[in-house]
Amino acid sequence: MFRTNLDNIVFFVKYIEKLRNSGLRPTKQRLRICQVLFNTQKTFHFTINDLVKKIKKQINNNISLATVYNTVRAFEKKGYLKQISINSSETYFDTNISNHHHFYDLKEEKLIDLKNSDVGPINIKKKINGKKIKSVEVLVKLED
């Protein structure tokens, strides 16, 4: 159960198209970041520093910090990543872009996905004039 070379080619071709269709040039750096973020079975949560570490581990070549920031912001704007509202010194991002909620383990400083069935539907009854709901996020903080 390992990825063949063909799988990788398919992945890159797919993401070259995806970036082009978003108006983003498929640069070497962006495709490497796509590989780290999206060429996985499972989705995950990360900070910029986590991502930089992953890039360093998986790829011998380096990407400048400014580019990592620029790329993550661009991907977030295009909807390929979600930013998670949480008070932490570092901003968290999520490769799981579906509507879902989170546990936040305060001690470990780690996010854990909640399935929607773990929370149940949230029905916001109040309306604010001229405003519409963009997102509804539940954050459950955990302590020992």
Binding site for its own copies (CB under 8 A): 83-87, 91, 103-106, 112, 114-115, 117-120, 122-126, 128, 130-144
DSSP 90: S
142 vs 129: CA distance, rounded Å:
35
76 vs 94: CA distance, rounded Å:
9
Q: 115: how many CB neighbours lie within 10 A of its CB?
A: 8
Does residue number 35 form part of the binding site for DNA (CB under 7 A)?
no
Does residue number 82 form part of the binding site for DNA (CB under 7 A)?
no
Does residue number 91 form part of the binding site for DNA (CB under 7 A)?
yes
Residues that bind DNA (CB under 7 A): 16, 20, 23-30, 47-49, 62-67, 69-71, 73, 89-91
Binding site for Zn ion (CB under 5 A): 94, 96, 113
